[in-house]
Homo-oligomer: A and B are copies of this chain.
C-alpha cells in the first residue's frame, strides 16, 4: 500500500466535503478526484465517517501545535487566554474551508458525535484548562472555578460564535470585535 495514496484520498476528501458538505459528498467522486477506484478508499478508511474523522485527527495536529506556540509566546496567563481566543477566531477567518469542515460537517457524522471521544479534541480543550490552571496557581484567576468547566464554557462560546460566522453567507461579522468582547467577558469573569 503506497503511503501516498492515503494522502491523496484525504486531500481529495477535504475538497469534496468542503464543497458539497459531508452528506452530499459522494465516495465515488472523492475516489475519482484522488485518482483511485471507489473500492480503494475502503482499503484506507473504514467508511465515510472514518474518512471525515481522519481528516479531523490529521488537521488538528498542526492546529494544536501552532496554538501551543502562540500561547507560549505570551507571558502571563491573561495574555495566553487572549492569545487562544484570538488565534482560534483567526483560524476560522483564514481557513474557512477547514473551519467549515471541523465545525459544521464533522458534527453531522453520527460516528463522531456518538462514538468518538477523540484524543485530539480533548487535547485542544486541554490547552485552555492548562492556561487556566496556570493562572490559578499564580493567583491571577479565581480558584473557585473548575478548569474542566471553564474550558468547556470558553470553547462553547467560541464555537458558537465561529459556527455562526462560518454559516453566515455575508461574512460581515467582525470576528476581531467578537474576540475582544469574549475576552472581555471571560477575563472579567475569572480575574480575582
Contact = CB atoms under 8 A, between A and B. Distances in A.
Nearest to A117: B167
Contact of A186 (B177, B178, B189): B189
A10 to B, nearest CB: 22
Interface in A1-33: 21-24
Contacts of A188: 188-190
Interface stretch (A50-58, A59-67, A75-83, A158-166): A158-166
Nearest to A22: B110
B108 A104 contact: no
A43 interface: no
A153 B146 contact: no
> Which of A110, A156, A178, A190 has the largest number of chain B CB atoms within 10 A?
A156
Contacts of A167: 113-114
A22 B114 CA distance: 11
> Which of A23, A104, A146 has the largest number of chain B CB atoms within 10 A?
A23
Contact of A185 (B104, B177, B186): B186
Interface string A175-188: 00110011011111
Given A113-B167, A144-B184, A156-B157, 5 more contacts: A108-B109, A145-B181, A149-B161, A150-B185, A156-B159
9 contacts: A22-B110, A108-B109, A108-B113, A149-B161, A149-B178, A152-B160, A152-B161, A153-B161, A156-B160
